[in-house]
Amino acid sequence: DQQVKQNSPSLSVQEGRISILNCDYTNSMFDYFLWYKKYPAEGPTFLISISSIKDKNEDGRFTVFLNKSAKHLSLHIVPSQPGDSAVYFCAASRYGGSQGNLIFGKGTKLSVKP
């Protein structure tokens, strides 16, 4: 059973617009959530994280929102740039990520068109 779900395999957005990537989880014990970006032939690159004690974390163009009651988080990219085109993975963990077991979603492929 998938504990972390990214239900949209792909998303296409115009340059300059907002990209919203969604992620749902089922395990209420998760307390730490991360977003990774992955280009082909490269390892995942850490983007942004959020602890379950917060509902929002912002870093430049990237903002992650957490809705614990809905077990839902989202990544907003504003404004979107062509270089943002990549596969985005949502990941979740217990114990603040200290135990090493990140559970990844299947990823959403973002295409930002000029």
Using CB under 8 A, list all residues that contact another protein.
4, 32, 34, 36, 41-46, 49, 51, 89, 95-102, 104-107
Q: Which pair of structure tokens corresponds to residue 95?
A: 């114990």
Quick one: 81 or 101, whose CB is closer to another protein?
Answer: 101
DSSP state of 70: T
Quick one: 19 or 49, whose CB is closer to another protein?
Answer: 49
Question: Rounded to 5 degrees, what are φ and ψ at 96?
Answer: 65, 20
Quick one: 16 or 96, whose CB is closer to another protein?
Answer: 96
Q: Is 83 helix (H, G, I), strand (E, B) or coil?
A: helix
Smallest gap from residue 84 Cβ to another protein (A): 18
Q: Which pair of structure tokens corresponds to residue 6?
A: 């990214």
Smallest gap from residue 71 Cβ to another protein (A): 18
Taking only Cα atoms into account, the Rg of the chain, rounded to an integer number of angstroms, comes to 13
